[in-house]
Structure 1
Amino acid sequence: MSLLAEETTTTAADALEAADVAVFPVGSTEQHGPALALGMDHLAAEAFARTATDRQECIVLPTLPVGVSAHHRQFDGTLSVEPETFERYVTETLSSLADHGVRKAVVVNGHGGNTDALTRAARRLRDDRIAFAPPWNWWDGVDDLAADLFDEAGGHADAMESSLLWHLHDELVDPDALEAAEAGASDAWGESVHGASVGFDTIDFSDSGAVGRPTQADPEKGKQLFEAGSERLAALLEWLADRPLEDCWAAPHR
């Protein structure tokens, strides 16, 4: 397999012909509290996606580093696009890939705010029989392990994310700032009053931008998360590579 961006137009022909599944990493560039770099989400997605480089049937696309992050806009450095813009970008990118014959993909997602747009993109691509491209959220692939490793509800710049980035890019984590992140963090995502959600933006319920207990972060635990998530992603890629394209389309209307 290969990284598409490192091919030439000549060598890409062979790489695309050999590929059964594309891997498309997407994330965000947004605040992750005082201890983590803004690129946490797209760096995580890219790291997981690149574990597919040893699979002959896969080709990895360039990373999409900006996502749907308006809820973090009050924190410095956050970049964001509208959900419709993000959805269209993903849809059109995978449509252009389908023109080259690769019509199955896994979208490796590093940011929860992208999830709804990715689901809509996947449905549209399938309904139009252009491509089958299920999104894969890395945190869903390690949720059982994270529950064993950390005592937190979490949700953002928490112990799980901090541990993963610490393992992947220790230079992008400031361990001395983890206490400040937790001091200003909320225990769980959002805020509710009498059953109504009133926490529209992160600033509404978190002073530091973090949600969870980042002081529990540990790079060795991050390594465990990365290895476990990589195994789950590999299993998904194998399943999709073996699945006939005709079996991926929506069932006909009754």
Structure 2
Amino acid sequence: MTLLAERTTTAAAEDVDAADVAVLPVGSTEQHGPALPLGMDHMAAEGFAHTATDREDAVVLPTLPVGVSEHHRQFDGTLYVGPETFEDYVRETISSLAAHGVRKVVVVNGHGGNSEALRRAARRLREERTAFAPPWNWWDAVDELADELFDEDGGHADAAESSLLWHLREDLVRPDALEAAEAGASERWGESIHGAVLGFDTIDFSESGAVGRPTQADPEKGRQLFETGRDRLHALLDWLAERPLEACWPRDGR
């Protein structure tokens, strides 16, 4: 099934009638250091989501490219909305689709800062019995493989992200800037002093905006990450497409 945004309203009616599940890619437009483009996160989410266009039982929604990224605001080019705004936008987008009959959605997420808002949106949609919309983070789907491929704690513009986008969009990655990204990077996300988390903004602990060891990036490793994530996403779509909607709602506890 093709992308919903490329269909006419009459063709979309046929797509929605045939769809058991929808795919909504979400991400961000924010700094990713000197080697990666601002659109890294939404491009990654879109790359995974668009693999579902080959499925007859799925409809792929337009990408939401701006997310919860205020913690990157000191770096040029970063766009952001508040978590409540993002939560409402995702929830209302899914609600509008549910009104046309598709009430099972996988939200393909490319940005960690969106995670809490997506969980809240999914919980509310489920509690209201509007839709069942579990978030899917690509990095969680490939975490074991990433641990095998890279020696880093990582977290942002790291080797894993750089490798993935190098595979998806080679034209947008600057390999000659990976050393500069790593030179100003922190080893891990955040900063902690005597048990208190003090790194509220990325610039508090990373001069380049990167976190991890991006010089380990490799497009072949990016291909492995992408194919592993793609397979796990489709396994989730298979599971959700077959699951009765009644089994997705909250249990009453009695």
Question: Above 0.5 in TM-score?
Answer: yes
CA distance in 1, matches of 2:222, 2:253: 45
Aligned-partner Cα distance in 1 for 2:12–2:203: 45
SS in structure 1 of the partner of residue 44 of structure 2: helix
Match of 1:180 in 2: 180
Matched with 1:87 is 87
Aligned positions of 1:11-160 closer than 5 A: 11-160=11-160
**C-alpha separation between the residues in 2 aligned to 1:55 and 1:234?**
9
Q: Give SS of 1:108's match.
A: strand
| Aligned equivalents of 2:252, 2:29: Cα separation in 1 | 39
TM-score (norm 2): 0.99
3-state SS of the aligned residue for 2:92?
A: helix
Measured in 2, the distance between the counterparts of 1:28 and 1:79 equals: 8
Unmatched tracts of structure 2, length 5 or more: none
Shift of 1:54: 1.2
Residue aligned with 2:24, SS: strand
CA distance in 2, matches of 1:35, 1:98: 39
Q: Distance in 2 between matches of 1:9 and 1:57?
A: 18
The CA deviation string for residues 139-183 of structure 1, in whole angstroms up to 9 with x for no partner, is 000000000000000000000000000000011110000000000
Cα separation, 2, equivalents of 1:196 and 1:34 = 29
TM-score, normalised with respect to structure 1:
0.99
Cα-Cα RMSD? 0.5
Give the distance between the partners of 2:253 and 2:242, measured in 1 at CA.
Answer: 26
Identical amino acids, percent of aligned pairs: 77
Alpha-carbon shift at residue 2 of structure 1 (Å): 2.0
Runs of 4+ residues over 2 Å off in structure 1:
none
Counterpart of 1:194?
Answer: 194
Structure 1's unaligned 5+ residue stretches are none
- Tell me, in whole angstroms, the C-alpha distance in 2 between the residues paired with 1:9 and 1:215: 46
- Deviations, residues 97-126 of structure 1 (Å, cap 9, x unaligned): 001000000000000000000000000000
Distance in 2 of aligned mates of 1:2 and 1:247:
28
- Return the offset for 1:53: 1.0
CA distance in 1, matches of 2:163, 2:253: 46
Amino acid at match of 1:190: G
What secondary structure, in the 3-state scheme, does the structure 1 residue paired with 2:142 have? helix
For 2:179 and 2:245, locate their aligned partners in 1 and report how far apart those are by CA, in whole Å. 49
What secondary structure is seen at the aligned counterpart in 2 of 1:153?
Answer: coil
Question: Residues 172-251 of structure 1 correspond to what in structure 2 (within 5 A)?
Answer: 172-251=172-251
C-alpha separation between the residues in 2 aligned to 1:166 and 1:70? 26
Residue deviations 1:46-82 (CA, integer Å, cap 9, x gap): 0000011111100000000000000000000000000
